[in-house]
Structure 1
């Protein structure tokens, strides 16, 4: 093979791997260390960012929030960590290679626009701040806002 063929193959392989979707770690298969009897959101978020290789943005209101851990539990997978954070009003928002840990009260002010716009029939991505456009037809607005 020539040098240009190898270079083209390497670039194509890199592009395919970049578009391949979430890794095994992002899908919840890898383990995050947790310290009993409690762990802080900041430490959990830093472990998560190190594991997935994503940039971390942490809301100051959740940085020192403590999460109680069941005795005897030393590891959580990513889905368990996400559920524990959600129970404590911490929302994990993913945008590309950036992961935002935001308190639910601050979600609209801390998550930066523009949000992607989707139609109501589209398949919506999980864990991403977005806008859904809902068309009101035939004067149905009064019945929507009446309740």
Structure 2
């Protein structure tokens, strides 16, 4: 089953910030504090499911929109366009494939939801790419790190379904 495409243009674009790379460094310390806070609620610990699809990421310098409509998510920034696509099952062994965790829907007023996911992954040195929607977050990890990432998230208190 393919997930529907979505488009978002981050606030970082308006501020001229490259938010894709440095977000992990900013979120990890906050996530560690939140994880150690006994007042945190289950609302900040979404149940996660591993999506059956695999994804690829590409950077298109200077582009504002892809030439095709075969994308899942777009992030436009001053340095170009980041395009998230479904991975081809025919891609060669050198293709960088990403696996996705998708969380339960949550309100935008619930703090710490994304931090509860990316914090433990950062603590385990697992790189992520995040695409957030109005309702939930898609957290991607390199496909070869999927099992380790699922174990890390379970150890952090998340329910992870395949």
Q: TM-score, normalised by structure 1?
A: 0.29
Q: Per chain length, whose mean CA-contact separation is higher, i.e. which structure has more relative contact order (CA < 8 Å, sep 6+)? A: 2
More helix by share: 1
Q: TM-score, normalised by structure 2?
A: 0.27
